[in-house]
Every structure is written in C-alpha cells, then in structure tokens.
A and B are shown apart, each in its own frame.
Chain A
C-alpha cells in the first residue's frame, strides 16, 4: 500500500466529516485496533529488512498527523455545537406585506366560482350611452324603472353606467349564443355617501344564453353560487322581483348571517337578506338581437353588499376611503 495515498485518503475523509459519530467511524477505520494503519504496521514485517525502519517511521508520523487532525476536527465540531446566546423572542426581519382590496379579493372569489361553472370573463365600458344602459335593456326614456337608478350624466350627453347589464347587449352583439359570461366593474348611481350608499359600487353581472334555459337553471346556478361563497349549509330562497330586462324576475336571499334567521335590524326582522337580482332575459331583448330561438338568464350582484354580509362590514364608505387599518384586515389572497 502506498503510504502517501493512504494519508491523503484519510485526510479527505476527516475533512468531510460533519458529526461526532462520523468522526469516530473514520478514526476507527484508520487508527482503530483493526484499522487500516494497524494493518499497514503489521505489513511492515513483510518488507525487506533494510526498508523496515524507514517505513515504520513514516507510518508513525502518519499516525501522529491523523491523530492531530482528528483532535482538531473534534474541537471544530465542539465549537459548532454551542452558539452565542441570542434573544430569540425578538421579532423577525419581516418584509413589507401588501394586501389586495376586499372588493378585489371577493370579486375574484365570485368570478372563480363562475369560471368553474363554465363562464367566461368579459368587460365593458364605464361610460355608456343611454341606449346600452337603458333603452336596449327595455327601459326607454320615461320608463318609471329609471327612477330606481339615479344617473350621473356627462356634459356630452353620455352617462356613467348604472349597472353592468349593458355588457350583456355588447357581448351578444358580437358573439352568438350559446354563451356563459360574467363581467365585473364599477357602476355609478347618484346616491348620498352614507353608511349604506355610495355613488360608486362594484357589480358582477352574469349571463347564460342557450336553448331551453329555465328558472330551474337560474335557481340551480345561483344556489350553487351561494353555497360556494357562504358555505354548504347556507339557506337560500328566491322571491319575485322586477327588472325591465328580465321576465320573470327574481331576487335571491340568503339566511341573514347576523341573526341566523332569527330576525334582526339588518334583515328588517325577516331572517333573510337579499344578495342579488336575476331573471330570465326578456324575450324582446334577444329578439332584437336576432336570437329569437334562444333564451337565457341574467343576474347582477353588488360586490360591496356581498362583502358587507360576508365580512360583517357596516359602512359601505370604508371600501372607498382606503384606510390601511381597514385594508390590512383582508389578507386572504
């Protein structure tokens, strides 16, 4: 055996050692009673007589060298075991954490539910014409339903959309059914700015046009939605409603989460609380667009309203004041 190679191998192995156990194994391997060096020393007897003293000298120096290295390594390992005392209860070096707006968080959640149901996300303009916002939606000038939506008009005669429903018309003008779409965005109504009103609000609109769509499809879809957003056990019901562009029309209610159906001031003692309006698309709208053989349903919900119910927020203005103390509470994104 080449003594030098032996020494080099041993040094490399000692160098690689990471634990006390490993070090002991290496020591036994090279220096133990049945170790490699013992074998080497025994084999010296086989050498010619004149080479024996020199070989013995080298072997002993290797032995000493390795013993020294192992001792050093032991000290290094020992040193690594104890660290300087630090106060580990100090706070960590935390990077800044930003948050998404609750209307974004919830809007995404709602959209994703409908995307899973096969709906596509589309968009429409916030500045609309009277035609798309009202007339095309069966609400001609002088229609009393216009009273329900006090409108912001622009000096150029256009208006700020009061609902996302114009998107229905714009999409159907470009895409023929069958289709399922969802659209979300800002809408505007001339309201006071108080705990329950805001001149700006976020609406999510859905539309499903196909052949043979019924109220059963509408109720089934919206019930699924409510369960996804408010939990499997949420009680929902539908009441008749009125929108000029749907017939029949309905409103969806869920069990009031504040009183769990007992009746409180939020639900006006009814135990149920409205979350959205919906209905089958008025046939005259589809007819005008050239889709007489189709029918469908549409629904629209205010994201603020859903958020207020879901997160127990009692003042709609909080959504538009952007106080960090408010925004920081919505981290589920």
Chain B
C-alpha cells in the first residue's frame, strides 16, 4: 500500500522526518518497503500484515502512529447519514438474499450529479497513492477508501432496472466488468444484480453496464460488508485483485459503513452535486456488540518476560482505544470493531509488546538437562562428507523433472497441478535427471571433469518419499605432468562406490548383474547388500547427453541399514605375508569375479587376492585375455614357508587349468 506523508500529517502531528517515521512504523511491525522523497512530500510503500486490514488507510495508520507517539488525532470524520424518510425520495429497493453473505448494505441515492474532473487535492493524493483518476464520482469513492479504509462503489442509478439484489451468481452467469472483461460466474460468487442480471461482482469490481458515464446524473452509492472468504475466493478464481477486494477479503470494519457513506456524500457535495442524498437504505443499522477479551496482567508479564506495572499496560490500552471493564477483579478488554485481529489475551499481550518495543524485552537463555529426542541422527551428513572426501562436489537440484524420466523407471509419477515450468511437471522419482542437468551446465562452462553427488528425496505415487544418494561423473581425468589424461569410465564410478562402501564400513556386499534400464545394459551393475538392492551404477543411457555420463543411485535407507556402527579390532598377524603372482591366459569373456572365486575356494590358508594386470592383445590369442593376480598368504602365528603354500598354489593352478586357463611362465 502507498501512502503519502502530508496526508498522514493532516491527521496526526508528526514532528519528525519521513525516514524517522519509517523507522517508527518498522518498529510497530508496519514494514516500510520504500520511502520516496518528492519535492514537497514523501511517499511510503508499506507492507501491511494480513491480519491488520485496519492499517490499510490513512486514518488507521494515523491512529497507530498517534498511539505510538502519544498524541491525539488532529482530524475527525464523524459525518452521519441524512434523515432516511424524505418526502421526495427517489425510488430504490435493496434485497439481501443471505445476511451471512452480506450482513449490512447501505445504499444512498444522489441526483443532480455533474460528472467531471476531480478537485486538485483529490486527484493529487490519488496519484501519489498509486490510484488512477477517472472522474469526480469514482475518484471520491477511491479517496474515501484510502482515507477510511472502506471500499465503496457508485452505480449509475438510471442503468439499474428495478431494485438492487445482493445474491449468489447463477452458474455460468456472465458479467462484463468495468474494465470490459467478460467473466463467467458461479454459485460461489456474490453479485450485485438488478432484475436483468449482475451489475457488479460484489466487493471486487463493478460491471460495465451500471458504471458511471459522462452523462450520468443520478447515482447509487454502495457501502457494504461482504463475507471475507467469499470475496477472497472470487477474487482468486477470477484473478481479479482490486483495492476493494484486498480490503474486503481481509475483513472490512462493519461499523465504518455509515461513516464512509456519509463522508462520501459530504465530499460529493463539494465536488459533484449541490444536492444531498435523496434516499438512504441501511439493511442493518443496529451497531454490533463490542468484542470482549479476557485479560490477565500476570499472564501478560509472564509471556513477555517483563514486570510491567498495571498503569503502564492500561496506558497502552487507552492509547489504542481499548476499554477496560473489570468484574470480580478479572479485567476484560473491549476491542474496537476495526481491530478484528484481537481475539485472545495473547493478541493483547502482543500489542503491549509492540508498544513498549520488542527491544525493551529482556534476553534470557536456560540450558536443559532433558535427554534429546534424537529421532534422526546425523548419518546423512556422514554420507555427504564421505562423497566429498572422494572428490565429488555436492549438488542440490530443484526436484521438478520431465515426465519421461518416470516412464524409464515405470514409476507412477507424482504430478504437479500447477507446475512452475510446464515441461517439468512431475516430482523427481530419481536424482539423476537433476544431476545430468547440472553436468551439462558445467560442461557448457568448460569444465573438463565433472564429479557431482546429491542427497535428496524422490517421490513416487503411493509410496513414501525416499532419501537417495546419487552421483555422476563425466569428462576426462586431467592430464598432469605426472599422469596421462584419459576419459572417465565404468571403473571410476565403481571405484567411487567401493570406496564409499569401505568408508561406511560395509563389508558384506557384492555386485551383480543389473537390469536397471537407466543405464546401458553392457555397462551396469547393481549393488547387493544382504539380499537387498540399494541401487545400481553404470553408463547412463541417454542419447540426449552430450558426453558419457557414469552415474549411481542408492537408497540411503539401505546403506545406513548396512552400516556397521563402531569398528571392531581383530588382532593382526605379526608375521609378514608371503606373496605369489600367477599369470595366465583365459577365455576373454570369463569374469574376473569368477576366477577370483575359483582360486579362493581352492585355498586352505588366509589369502588376499588382488588383480595386478589385465592384458588384451592379439598376440595372446583371439578372444583371450591375460590376467595376473597376486596371492598374499598369511598366518596368524608364523611366517609361512614356500613349502607350506606349495599345496595351495598347486590346487589353484589345477583348478584354473580345468577351467581352460593356461599358465604363463
């Protein structure tokens, strides 16, 4: 909301600069977004909290400022509506279909109107406050809206056929708004209608047909109260947010209706007509009962952590126009109708806090001996730190992805009703699309080697959201003075997975064939821990990717489930191991894992088997490969001798031979 300094000064004696005023407003919780200084004035752009519609006016703001600086308001608006029973009254009826939708409606008929330009003081203030000037009728209603906070509407009396009816719209009923837009209404919308159809969307915007025209000579001035939730829903559905709907949906002050009407009539008398109203209808003139809120000084002090005296509190209430009524020693506070936000004693306590200033509340901190709940531990950060220690950098992606990713996994996607980007309309069911996006961005930035990981949730329809760990690597291991460059390959991602498992102290795992269609089937394996498959890794099968991207993705739950807490020491052998290298030629597609198992099974000693070399060359033979494995024999109690391992080596060689291997000497 925009409001100018001079207008506020007309209401309250502000003895300080616009910037000082802005600071005081800030400390009341009225956020000043911007102060615009002009040659003779200053304009404030304010951000009013949604529970304080009473501050959406010059009057309301002045009330608050006056209370803060301890001054009285200089100006008053206390006009009252003229006598309702005039002899020469113009004919008008007002029918309210539901008092719940519209508890009060005041219609005033005025004639001898001359439509023209507004007086300078009106158009100048409207402009400063960011409202377009139209003509002396509409401008006055907007002026009153800004000053009192109450929205009014003016109809062309002669365009109304029959009386005014406040009713729900019929489904598919059409209205052309003042702005010339056609809107289709529903039973959820409240309209002002005549016997031909809607003439205004209640509280939101007038209709074109009943608007003020250059030739208008008689008008109906509406000052009403509409049910806030109705106005809000309509405004949102029709995407029509106006100064009027903004205030109505935050709850207007129902007691302001007659005052705002009378004030408008007064201003119209100065600028557009020489006659006063010819008829006034008020559907519910009985004033509302003031709300009473129970209050305890003791509770308030406890809540604020202060020790305020009764008189200090009473003074604040008095400044705010809150009356105190004491019965049986327990005070009750009578709240003015415009303070709809005050409902319970905590609300009153906040007012005390606001007016003494939050910075005058003491600061306190006490430690606790309570046992922490610790529902979640800090294992996730452990995983992240491991991945970073392996040379990958952590990425965080916005989890919106294209629907085709879900099809790859045959997951039922979680679809957004109102996506941010129309092509990225589902929630991610895998972390990889986001990581691929990040990889591409980095490649475009000229990065040679991109290694990223992400820990985050994925979503599948009908399943709980699940924490995943994903990683991608692509590009080239860099050329260095001490090493040659080479493209990243399958064994790099596998190595990262193995190292991660080692750091997580997970030992009982194996790799198996993977059917994960996310990866190229010739370049993927899956991880198996205790019969479960936390995930797979491999070369990502995406034709759209510019580079070969190797990735992995695991369910964090399974990784953490397998994590062995606390290391366990077992005595290491004091005696050095004895090492033997075996080189042999074998059929090219024999898996190393199989060979390793064969050797392992044939041994009687504790042996560590390590692959030293894999060599494929034509001279070895077609579809053959040469492998060199190192066997490390150890014994807990002695140094083994050549003789003692001879038997083992012989069985290993025999087994390998029976498997088609020929030993290289």
- Pick out which of these stretches binds chain A: B23-31, B533-541, B605-613, B629-637: B23-31
Interface string of B356-394 (1 = CB under 8 A from A): 001101111111101011111110010011011111111
- CB contacts (< 8 Å) of A154 on chain B: these are 414-417, 427
A-B contact pairs, 11 of them (CB 8 A): A98-B393, A100-B388, A120-B375, A123-B376, A152-B416, A247-B347, A269-B19, A282-B346, A322-B442, A324-B393, A333-B385
Would you call B450 and A324 a contact (CB within 8 A)?
A: yes
From B304, B398, B447, B482, give the contact of A324 (CB < 8 A). B447
CB within 8 A of B396: which of A101, A284, A323?
Answer: A101
The answer to whether B395 touches A327, judged by C-beta atoms less than 8 angstroms apart, is yes
Minimum Cβ distance to chain A for residue B24 (Å): 11
Residues of B222-256 contacting chain A, CB below 8 A: 228-229, 232-233, 249-250
CB distance from B399 to the nearest CB of A (A): 7
A147 to B394, CA, bound (A): 34
- Chain A's closest residue to B53 (CB) is A144
Determine whether A121 belongs to the interface, using a CB cutoff of 8 Å to chain B: yes
Query: Which of B313-321, B457-465, B575-583 interfaces with chain A?
Result: B457-465
Q: B27-67 toward A: CB 8 Å interface, digit per residue (1/0)?
A: 11100111100000000000001111000000000000000
Contact check, B441 vs A126: say whether CB atoms are below 8 A apart. Answer: no
Q: Does B344 contact A (CB under 8 A)?
A: yes
A32 to B629, CA, bound (A): 54
Instruction: Report yes or no: A242 in contact with B29, Cβ–Cβ below 8 A.
Output: yes
A59 to B442, CA, bound (A): 78
Closest beta carbon of chain A to B364's beta carbon, Å: 4
Given contacts A123-B376, A214-B303, A268-B33, contact A101 B482 (CB under 8 A): no
CB-CB under 8 A from A200, the residues of chain B are: 398-399
In the complex the two chains form, is B303's CB within 8 Å of A295's CB?
Answer: yes
B620 to chain A, nearest CB (A): 33
B354 to chain A, nearest CB (A): 5
* CB contact between B228 and one of A96, A117, A142, A199 (< 8 Å): that residue: A142
Q: Does A239 contact B (CB under 8 A)?
A: yes
A13 to chain B, nearest CB (A): 25
Of residues 75 through 130 on chain A, the ones whose CB sits less than 8 Å from some CB of chain B are 90-91, 93, 95-101, 103-104, 108, 115, 117-123, 125-127
Chain B neighbourhood of A269, CB < 8 A:
19, 35
| Given A126-B465, A148-B50, A199-B398; A240-B354 close (CB under 8 Å) | yes
A327 and B454 alpha carbons, distance in the complex (Å)? 13
B375 near A100: Cβ-Cβ < 8 Å: no
Nearest chain A CB to B33 CB, angstrom units: 7
Q: Is the CB of A104 within 8 A of B394?
A: yes
| B662 contacts A by Cβ under 8 Å | no
Partner of B349, one of A115, A143, A248, A323: A248
Q: Check B350 against A247 for contact (C-beta < 8 Å).
A: yes
C-beta contact mask, B394-408 vs A, less than 8 Å → 1, else 0?
A: 111111100000000
Known: A104-B396, A217-B365, A219-B361. 17 other contacts (CB 8 A): A96-B390, A99-B393, A119-B372, A121-B375, A142-B232, A152-B417, A154-B417, A156-B415, A156-B461, A178-B370, A186-B457, A215-B358, A217-B364, A242-B52, A247-B347, A268-B32, A283-B344
Chain B residues, CB < 8 A from A178: 368, 370
> Could you say which residues of chain A place their CB within 8 Å of the CB of B71?
none
Check if A155 sits within 8 Å of B354, measured CB to CB.
no
Contact with B along A295-333 (1 / 0, CB 8 A): 100000000000000000000000111111101100001
CA distance A220 to B361 in the complex (A): 10
- Is there a chain B Cβ closer than 8 Å to A193's Cβ? yes
B346 touches which one: A90, A148, A248 (CB < 8 A)? A248
Contact, CB under 8 Å: B49 / A241: yes
Interface residues of B in 322-376 (CB under 8 A from A): 344, 346-347, 349-350, 353-354, 358-359, 361-368, 370, 372-376
Cβ–Cβ < 8 Å partners of B365 in chain A: 117, 217, 220-221, 224
* Chain B nearest CB, measured from A231 CB (Å): 17
Pick from B363, B368, B391, B438 the residue with the most CB of A within 10 Å.
Answer: B363
A320 to B480, CA, bound (A): 31
Bound-state CA distance A158–B634 (Å) is 61
Q: Which residues of B contact A193 (CB under 8 A)?
A: 420
Chain A residues with CB under 8 Å of B377's CB are 121
Distance of A200 Cα from B418 Cα, bound (Å): 14
Q: Kindly identify which residue among B52, B346, B390, B452 contacts A283, using a CB–CB cutoff of 8 Å.
A: B346
Contact mask A166-180 → B, CB, 8 Å, 1/0?
000001000100111
B305 close to chain A: CB less than 8 A: yes
Determine whether B302 belongs to the interface, using a CB cutoff of 8 Å to chain A.
yes
